Chains A and B, each alone.
Chain A
């Protein structure tokens, strides 16, 4: 871990009660939801993390205690550093403040997380689905959402599947 990162992690620990972990050269700051906005703002304004690279989530179903982890990746052009923030969230329909005001790039990323995981962002300017159809039911990347696998037609079952396959009419 280089000097700047060490300084950042120390600051994060002191001000936002964050936990720091490191694996394979990636530094992760683990935060509680109430500090997200402040921590991101601090990183942007004081440590020059001027680019939001990514927002995504991970689902740990059936674990209910901290079912979702929000994952933020920030990049600092000045220091040439990537940093990852992880925010564990409780429950099946968690919500979190949006970081759209700090990074306009977060708009679509948060829409994608809402679409795929069903995590709501308070204060988001455009809370619609983004990649799935507007009337889609469910959030596909949740672990309790089925993959939607359909049986593949092989020689031995081709005729049987053909009978129930919904072929289109003219």
Chain B
């Protein structure tokens, strides 16, 4: 337990330049405990003075074995694990998993649940971007933005707590709809967030967008071209910051995103500043979507009425024998899914989030695989940091917005 196996330089010979072998360049270890690696990322930097020659990320310090663990649980129970992968986008993780399950067993979702899913995903997107804003600016030594951003984040967490009883790990979205209907105070609370957010985003922008201290650290650093984005599979704000309007909400709409009027913000520079501008605009667009969704939130059921997959409400169990049987079957055994595989994707705040789900005819998933944006985006670290100063490495890590739980799973 207590011995760490040291990696010798010989094992890394194929990754570092020849100059490292003669001692001309320096190999510097950064992390896993480092204040600006956003968790437990370890980077091995090859430095020529202050300049980064190569950057070798080492991940896995937060490997949780979620995919293996989900195979031993029923479809409903396995969902609890999905929250904890990308802990800043737990609603999105639930949603992607539920979309996959619904696709696998062919389950319908009522309109009210669809609209609720959209509202919550967008709130989650705002809260994730707020945390990104706070922490990545903290890395660039802009302390006050963190305190401002966390103030608004608490408002969103209060809404999450209101609907599910949990601030972060809600497991609110379930296969076939959502867990239960929202309380009456939900709409006013969301309305309040929608009303204050545009002003607050302007407030953050007033602190950063034209601030020389910020622009000097971000413009022209970590540049990636649109072609490289596609080759490396980068997605989300990274590819949009390089000028490609690629957003799965537009390209492959889910949960009725095609019915909302919103824009996909892009920025041409492809540097840290571009990604920052894209995320700020995305928060505004999310507010716009939530506002539209609130205005069209219909009355009606929030869960599918297909009792083979969705547990019956409490009120029915007391009177209907059939409901009791369904309830018992669903919570003890679970529902079976066909021996097929599906792939469902959503747009997470970080990029393409996909779930590859395979059933085997039984009540447990045979194989669940999460395609996570952090894992793919992190792979581009050598590309983004090469030729920059060591001090810019933290800015680049912040700008691709990694969540290590998402990368390591």
Contact residues of A with B, CB < 8 Å?
A: 23-26, 28, 50-54, 56, 58-59, 71, 73, 75, 77, 80, 82, 84, 103-105, 107-108, 112, 116, 125-126, 128-135, 140-141, 145, 147-148
Q: Top 5 closest A-B pairs, CB basis?
A: A131-B60, A105-B233, A54-B371, A131-B63, A56-B369
Q: Is B204 an interface residue (CB 8 A)?
A: no
15 pairs, A vs B, C-beta closer than 8 Å: A26-B103, A53-B354, A58-B366, A73-B356, A75-B352, A80-B252, A82-B345, A108-B375, A126-B15, A131-B59, A132-B63, A134-B7, A140-B65, A140-B68, A147-B65
Establish whether residues B343 and A105, one from each chain, have CB atoms under 8 Å apart when the complex forms.
no
Q: Which residues of B contact A145 (CB under 8 A)?
A: 68
Given contacts A53-B371, A103-B233, A131-B409, 10 further A-B contacts (CB under 8 A): A24-B106, A53-B352, A58-B358, A77-B246, A77-B251, A84-B343, A131-B408, A132-B63, A134-B7, A140-B65
Least CB distance from B77 to A in Å reads 14
**Chain B residue with Cβ nearest A106:** B233
Complex alpha-carbon distance, A91 and B88, angstroms: 40
Complex alpha-carbon distance, A129 and B11, angstroms: 12
Establish whether residues A80 and B251, one from each chain, have CB atoms under 8 Å apart when the complex forms.
yes
Q: Indicate the member of B5, B252, B342, B343 with the most A CB atoms within 10 Å.
A: B343
Q: Is B314 an interface residue (CB 8 A)?
A: no
Q: Indicate the member of A23, A28, A75, A147 with the most B CB atoms within 10 Å.
A: A75
Complex alpha-carbon distance, A140 and B60, angstroms: 13
Establish whether residues B230 and A77, one from each chain, have CB atoms under 8 Å apart when the complex forms.
yes
Q: Is B72 an interface residue (CB 8 A)?
A: yes
Contact residues of B with A, CB < 8 Å?
A: 5, 7, 11, 14-15, 59-60, 63, 65, 67-69, 72, 103-104, 106, 230-233, 235, 244, 246, 251-252, 340-343, 345, 352, 354, 356, 358, 366-367, 369, 371, 375-376, 379, 408-409
Establish whether residues A105 and B232, one from each chain, have CB atoms under 8 Å apart when the complex forms.
yes
Complex alpha-carbon distance, A128 and B356, angstroms: 24
**Chain A residue with Cβ nearest B383:** A104
Least CB distance from A76 to B in Å reads 10
Least CB distance from B364 to A in Å reads 12
**Chain B residue with Cβ nearest A108:** B379
Q: Which of B63, B67, B233 contacts A52 (CB 8 A)?
A: B233
Q: Which residues of B contact A141 (CB under 8 A)?
A: 67-68
Complex alpha-carbon distance, A104 and B376, angstroms: 10
Complex alpha-carbon distance, A167 and B235, angstroms: 44
Q: Which of A50, A53, A126, A131 contacts B14 (CB 8 A)?
A: A126
Least CB distance from A39 to B in Å reads 18
Establish whether residues A147 and B68, one from each chain, have CB atoms under 8 Å apart when the complex forms.
yes
Report whether over half of chain A's contact residues are helix, strand or loop; otherwise say mixed. loop
- Supposing A134-B5, A134-B7 touch, asked if A56 and B340 sit within 8 A by C-beta, the answer is no
**Chain A residue with Cβ nearest B6:** A134
Q: Which residues of B contact A54 (CB under 8 A)?
A: 354, 356, 369, 371
Establish whether residues A58 and B343, one from each chain, have CB atoms under 8 Å apart when the complex forms.
no
Complex alpha-carbon distance, A140 and B64, angstroms: 11
Complex alpha-carbon distance, A112 and B379, angstroms: 12
Q: Which residues of B contact A50 (CB under 8 A)?
A: 230-231
Q: Which residues of B contact A126 (CB under 8 A)?
A: 14-15
Establish whether residues B233 and A73, one from each chain, have CB atoms under 8 Å apart when the complex forms.
no
Complex alpha-carbon distance, A130 and B345, angstroms: 24
Establish whether residues A24 and B104, one from each chain, have CB atoms under 8 Å apart when the complex forms.
yes
Q: Which residues of A contact B345 (CB under 8 A)?
A: 53, 82
Least CB distance from A3 to B in Å reads 17
Establish whether residues A51 and B106, one from each chain, have CB atoms under 8 Å apart when the complex forms.
no
Establish whether residues A73 and B354, one from each chain, have CB atoms under 8 Å apart when the complex forms.
yes
Q: Which of B7, B60, B230, B342 contacts A130 (CB 8 A)?
A: B60
Complex alpha-carbon distance, A71 and B366, angstroms: 14
Q: Which residues of A contact B343 (CB under 8 A)?
A: 26, 73, 82, 84
Complex alpha-carbon distance, A103 and B356, angstroms: 20
Establish whether residues A107 and B103, one from each chain, have CB atoms under 8 Å apart when the complex forms.
no
Q: Which of A28, A84, A147 contacts B72 (CB 8 A)?
A: A147
Establish whether residues A147 and B63, one from each chain, have CB atoms under 8 Å apart when the complex forms.
no
**Chain A residue with Cβ nearest B251:** A80
Least CB distance from A57 to B in Å reads 9
Complex alpha-carbon distance, A105 and B341, angstroms: 23
Q: Which residues of B contact A26 (CB under 8 A)?
A: 103, 341-343
Q: Which residues of B contact A25 (CB under 8 A)?
A: 103
Q: Which residues of B contact A58 (CB under 8 A)?
A: 341, 358, 366-367
Complex alpha-carbon distance, A116 and B370, angstroms: 14
